[in-house]
Chains A and B, each alone.
Chain A
Amino acid sequence: MATVQVRDLKKSYGAAEVIHGVSMDISHGEFVILVGPSGCGKSTLLRMIAGLEDISGGTVSIGDRVVNALSPKERNIAMVFQNYALYPQMTVAQNLGFSLEISSVPKATIRQKVADAAEILGLTSLLDRKPSQLSGGQRQRVAMGRAIVRDPDVFLFDEPLSNLDAKLRVRMRAEIKALHQRLGTTVVYVTHDQVEAMTMADRIVVLRAGSIEQVGAPLDLYDEPANMFVAGFLGSPSMNFLKGELVPGSAARMQLESGETLALAARPEGVVSDVVLGLRPQDMAIDPERGTPAKVMVVEPTGSDTHVLAMIGDTEIACVLDGRPGIAAGEMVPLSFASDKVHFFDPKTEARLTTTGLSRAGAGPA
């Protein structure tokens, strides 16, 4: 068990730099998730920590050792791969014990450790099977077992749940989290799935195009995203962004590009005119009194709530409405939003602007 420290880490392939000086500190026992769209460099970053990719610049330290020049095996890490990477010709037991076998650990110790790992993961009855005789979830567990057996300083996971179906993914998510709580080993976990990141991480590192956009606890990032990218990436459906202009004067009103005017209960600090308004779909509601008229385009009932795609002027708005509001495509509905939960962004830098609340309550068409 150990800390992981990444300092100004760079990766280039020829002239193309894909990781641009990333720094982060991972504490002992922490569960950190690297998340971002494909091509953002999250897997490359993980593979540099693992020692599978050369480091072009900067340092990686595990514990108090700089490990740049060490081979993967000398770093005392374990890695779980997206396709599980189990040795097809070996049984589950042999897969679990392989790393110990080749470092000449006594047979009795290997048997004991394999049995312990199998016990933890519920694999005891499968020890004599070959990987091809296992289901996806079982293979995933064997891959984790192989990591556990080595008792590593750090667990690295590279999109471990991507090959599983939706239901199993939810279950394995809980299993991995429970496993982490039980073992207390430091975890660095890569995924493109923001739900995995939100549900499992102690801290999330959001990456885009080889740079860190924001680091923080899941709910902090959700509530206070640093910029439009993080705001749009976390949360499902994505945050709505409405471009517009603040109407000058003390009361906060905003004129959208499409012409509609919205009343707000908050406004950005300082003197600003052009802004992007960010609204979470979950913060929208139907409100006949104060709602802005919107045309319903698509209605998607999920059972517990209803996803609605609507248009205010020519701006598309995604909403998640409670229950079953009984509306149909083509109807006009009055949409309002919880005005204390709005975000403002600078349209040029895309950075989030600090908000000050206003005394006047309520929001809607002015």
Chain B
Amino acid sequence: MSRISHLQSPRAQALILLAPAIGIYTIFAIWPMIEVVILSFQRWNGLDADRVWAGLENYRYIFADDPVYWIAFKNTVIWTVLSVIFPPLVGLLLALGLNEKMFARGAMRAIYYLPVIIAPIAVATMWRWMYDPFFGLFNQIMTGMGLQGWIQDWLGDRDVALYSMFIAYIWQHVGFSMVLFLAGLQGVDRSLVEAARIDGASRWQVFRYVTLPALQVTMTIVIVLSTISSLKAFDIVYGMTGGGPAQSTQMLAMWAFTQSMQIFDFGRGSAISVTLLLITLAVVVPYLRWSQKREDAAR
């Protein structure tokens, strides 16, 4: 075979097309991950020429002595549980609504999706203004409606701040789930819905026995992606509260950043990152396996 025809084989072409991406991902994604794992066993302030081997000291510190780690851990868990439930649920309800033939459906889909394309830091800034205790939109509205008693320092109150932030997060992420569910709803077999109606199913029963089973794959994708994006929540915390007040909105991704970039302890920061990576894998991998099994069983 000549050299030309070698290059024309589909495998060779695939390799040629993939090579640049493989190179870039190795340099900018895979190597940094390995580097973080190595760093988590070292002591380094980010400036010195030498890194000192520290063994498990960084891990011992964050688990045993770090006063913030477990707060961040708890907040991350709360945040993730909420984000796996609410944005997909609201997204599904919106998708069901917008799947019906109605006036201005296209425009409404676009509007609900709009927040997804706004930079998270811009979202954080907008909502920080709206939550401002004196000049913010929410407190102004409540004052206007005579509900002064409900006025809160939305981002300044330790008991409320995390949930205030979560509202902004829902607002930004609902469009994403909605679009995926809308795509999933296109795949619902129309004659199956009609067969169910003839079989005597109510609207709820059609949803329960036809629509939901058909959305199973979409559901898996939405839940996995929601989990991943909630575990790595950073920009919104950074932009709205910076983790405060009194660490009440601190989360693992934010705390890893703070340890590394503000306290300049790259070893501890990396150790936190590694625990976050392991948590993500521990949640997502079993779920993917389980849903794959369930899907296979349904076939």
* A positions within 8 Å CB-CB of B: 50-52, 71-73, 77-79, 81-83, 85, 87-90, 98-99, 102-103, 130, 132-133, 146, 150
Contact = CB atoms under 8 A, between A and B. Distances in A.
Nearest to B198: A72
B201 interface: yes
A103 B192 contact: no
Given A89-B213, A130-B298, A99 B199 contact: yes
Tell me which of B195, B196, B197, B209 has the highest count of chain A C-beta atoms within 10 A of its own C-beta.
Answer: B195
Contacts of B214: 88
A102 B201 contact: yes
B198 A79 contact: yes
Contacts of B189: 83, 85
Given A130-B298, A130-B299, A87 B209 contact: yes
Interface in B63-119: none
Interface string B267-278: 000000000000
B205 A85 contact: no
B200 interface: yes
B197 A52 contact: yes
Tell me which of B189, B200, B210 has the highest count of chain A C-beta atoms within 10 A of its own C-beta.
Answer: B200
Contacts of B192: 85, 87
Contact of B200 (A88, A103, A132): A103
A81 B194 contact: yes
Contacts of B194: 50, 52, 72, 79, 81, 85
A270 to B, nearest CB: 51
B191 interface: yes
B197 A81 contact: no
Contacts of A102: 199-202, 205
A305 B81 CA distance: 73
B207 to A, nearest CB: 13
Given A50-B198, A81-B191, 7 more contacts: A50-B194, A52-B194, A52-B198, A72-B197, A73-B200, A88-B298, A146-B199
B135 to A, nearest CB: 51
A88 B195 CA distance: 13
Contacts of B191: 81-83, 85
Contact of A98 (B209, B298, B299): B209
A340 B279 CA distance: 88
A130 B210 CA distance: 15
Interface string B179-206: 0000000000101101111111110010
Interface string B203-229: 001000110011000000000000000
24 contacts: A50-B194, A52-B194, A52-B197, A52-B198, A77-B198, A81-B194, A85-B192, A87-B196, A87-B213, A88-B213, A88-B214, A88-B298, A89-B213, A90-B209, A98-B196, A98-B199, A98-B209, A99-B199, A99-B200, A102-B200, A102-B205, A132-B299, A146-B195, A146-B199
Contacts of A52: 194, 197-198
A206 to B, nearest CB: 25
B110 to A, nearest CB: 25
A78 B196 CA distance: 11
Contacts of B213: 87-89
Nearest to A149: B199
Contacts of B201: 73, 102
Interface in B261-299: 298-299
B195 A81 contact: yes
Contact of A78 (B198, B202, B209, B299): B198
Contacts of A78: 198
Contacts of A72: 194, 197-198
